[in-house]
Amino acid sequence: MSELSKIFGSQVFNDSVMRAKLPTATYNAVKNIIENNLTLDSNLAEAIASAMKEWAIEKGATHYSHWFQPMTGMTAEKHDSFLSTTKDGNIIMEFSGKELIKGESDASSFPTGGIRATFEARGYTAWDCTSPAFVKDRTLYIPTAFCSYSGEALDKKTPLLRSMDALNKHGMRVLRALGNTSSKKVISYVGAEQEYFLIDRDLFMKRKDLIYTGRTLFGSRPPKGQEMGDQYYAAIKTRVLGFMQDLDIELWRLGIPGKIRHNETAPAQHEIAPIYNTVNVATDQNQLMMETMKKVAAKHGLACLLHEKPFDGVNGSGKHNNWSIGTDDGVNLLDPGPEPHKNPLFLLILSIIIKAVDVYAEVIRSSVANAGNDLRLGTHEAPPAIISIFLGDQLTDIIRQIEEEGEATNSLHSSKVKMGASALPIFAKDFNDRNRTSPFAFTGNRFEFRMVGSSRSIAGPNFIINTAIADIFAEVADRLEAAEDAQAEAKAITAEFIRNHKRIIFNGDNYSQEWVEEADRRGLSNINNFIDAKRTLLQEKNVKMFERMRVLSEKENQSRYEVLVENYNKINKIEALTAIEMVERDILPVVHRYIGEIASCINQVKETGINIVLETQKRLLEDISVLAVSADKKVRKLKEIVDEVSSINDVTEQSVAYRDEVIPVMRSLREDIDQLEALVDAQYWPIPTYGDMLFGME
């Protein structure tokens, strides 16, 4: 056995461990529950808990934790010891089935959006048996969902699991109506590419903005940025490679299949990509990956930055969400096959996705809205805020035929690539090129949703995508089940959906102004800020969709909106207060000292009678003084506005005030500070510069 195969999943209570630790009958029963979404009975839970405890203790665990994902955007954990005492004063290690399947937490201490009052404290965590437990830091972690005392979802996982059920239910209805009798389940899969920055930890600790907010609130651009393109896929620096190698080992132990690692476009930016997994497991693994990245970075004297836009004027970081659906018997429903025009099931599902993305474009856009992504989306390295679908030449030609003739009779064929040197192979070209500017691009057998922010959980985007597509699956299933000829009806539906929703398809340059204008002519929404995006959660058609699919009740949807908007407000307040502190306590005092030094120098020069440099010094003194006065006025104004906005009680009204009043003043203040950085002697400047952070790695 190779060393890697010994390491991979060694800390995970996975299928092979269950098979080894559980009696055959118990193991088969557990597998049946997981595969068929059945309820776990108490006797079975006791057997699993006993085996899980013994395995965890063998791995050195002394505690267990129900690990969940509240609406804070982070993960949460409370550690309980396996330890119990006996009557004779000795100890035993215990872990019951009841403790496995249900835990309790103080729900009022987590964001609830009004579902729970402060004094109504009880909340529950419930074991997600489809996501494997794991041991980390001598603790058994049990993936769970989190709900209120009355059962409402208070986390990111519960609606995700519900959306998977909805997609399975209505996807299977479509398959059954079309004659599929072998598949038992429709499953959504995701592979989430994770972008991030690495900088020296000592420099990180000297930046209050990075510590408190995750991004730089000030910083002038260095002479060199990413314009040379020499960072992308370049040789990985020794210190960074050491981090990557250790990260891979830690992730592999936890069963997270880190597959790809490379330098990204911006200086100090990198990417890691895993192998696909089911959506809920992939979500758990991505959360765990982000936590592990930060810990491993610290061990290497580095800081891992996951913010969507840690450096202004430099490419931000996304989390490309590669989404697909398949069946339990191994069929990828988004695989077009060698002749997609002869694959009616694929074409039907493609048309369903086209309609879902068109009808629910605004709420899909809302799924990636956060304060960080407001700084990233629409700039030159990220998709615009307009939702559209890229299909490529082959599929676009097929849907053109379907639209015009009702069916497709041929498809474009792949050609050969000949590179002109005898030593190089001749190989088949892919059917379609890639479009790196498209927010929702078909890439061969999946859709790549490129708008997801690097710091966010992928649960939100995926439960909304799942739900939107499940809703159209349900519509199609109703029609197929009522039709005399389901195959003919499927063909008609495919043509109808393409005709009515083709406006969402765009294969060109999404970064161009021409597309913005064309999208407006097509009637597509261009929602370029957080609060306008999040308001779409409350649109009646979206509320009804979530209710129909039993993913979110109206009350849960409203509470989720309240939590997300309140979180946005808190982020902006923290950023504003951090900017105020940095300017008043760190930057302006240094600037004033430097002004004093220049003034003193001018006086000394005057005394010598040598006036040749006086004009230069006076201009420098004037330029810095004007900027310092301006910055002082703006920081005072910022303090007043933050106080006013903080007193607004309505979360939506407050968020609009942060967007329209606070953020513009912060942006203007930054302009002054960044100009001051370029003028003040580097020995005086109190915080590490962009050049220090982005180019200081060995």
Cβ-proximal residues to 31 (8 Å cutoff; 6+ apart), any chain: 15
CB within 8 A of 579, min separation 6: which ones?
Answer: 209, 217, 218, 635, 638, 666, 669, 670
What's the token pair of residue 537?
């959660």
3-state secondary structure of 437: coil
| Sign of CA pseudo-dihedral 334, 340, 341, 343 | negative
Kindly give the residue spans of alpha helices, DSSP state H, lying in 24-156. Answer: 24-36, 42-58, 97-101
Structure tokens at 600: 């003193």
pLDDT of the residue at 114: 78
Task: Locate 65 and state its tokens.
Answer: 């934790």
Helices (H), 409-485: 459-482
Cross-strand pairs, 225: none
Q: What is the mean pLDDT of residues 290-302?
A: 97
Residue 613 has pLDDT above 70, yes or no: no
Q: Rounded to 5 degrees, what are φ and ψ at 12?
A: -120, 135
Res 76 pLDDT > 60: yes
- Cα–Cα distance for residue pair 656/661, rounded to 1 Å: 8
Give the least confident one: 149-153, 386-390, 458-462, 569-573.
149-153
pLDDT of 342 above 60? yes
- Asked if 155 and 69 touch (Cβ cutoff 8 Å), the reply is yes
pLDDT in tens, 56-69: 999 999 999 999 99
Give CA separation, 124 vs 53, 74, 95, 555, 559, in Å.
Answer: 21, 17, 18, 18, 17
CA distances from 378 to 439, 451, 457, 519 (A): 10, 10, 21, 14
- How far does CA 63 lie from the centroid of its chain? 30
Instruction: Set out the domains of the chain in order of their start, with CATH numbers.
Output: 3-155 (3.10.20.70), 156-190+328-551 (no CATH), 194-317 (3.30.590.10), 568-695 (1.20.120.1560)
Structure-model confidence comparison of residues 344 and 234, the more confident one: 344
377-404 average pLDDT score: 85
Integer Cα distance of 603 and 608 in angstroms: 9
Judged against a pLDDT cut of 60, whether residue 1 lies above it is answered with no
* Residue 96, both tokens: 């019951």
Output phi, psi for 276, to 5 deg. Answer: -55, 155
Closest CA to 695 of 247, 195, 200, 304: 200
Mean pLDDT, the chain, integer = 92
Cα angle at 595 between 593 and 600, to 5 degrees?
95
- Is the pLDDT score of 416 beyond 80? no
Handedness of CA 503, 508, 512, 514 (dihedral sign): negative
pLDDT at residue 346 in the model: 95
Instruction: Look at residue 106 and tell me whether its pLDDT is greater than 90.
Output: no
pLDDT at 379: 62
Mean pLDDT of the region 129-146: 95
Instruction: Give the contacts of 2 (CB within 8 A, at least 6 positions apart).
Output: none
Where does residue 613 rank: exposed (0-12), middle (13-18), buried (19+ CB within 10 A)? Answer: exposed
* pLDDT at residue 414 greater than cutoff 70: no
Token pair for 558: 């409203």
| pLDDT above 70 as % of the chain | 97
DSSP H/E element including 350: helix 344-359
% of the chain at pLDDT higher than 90: 73
pLDDT beyond 90 at 651: yes
Across 291-300, 337-346, 372-381, least confident range: 372-381
Would the CA dihedral through 47, 49, 50, 54 be positive or negative? Answer: positive
Residue 684: other Cβ atoms inside 10 A = 11
For residue 530, give Cα distances in angstroms to 166, 306, 567. 27, 19, 11
Cα 242 from chain centroid (whole Å): 25
Structural tokens at position 648? 């607004």
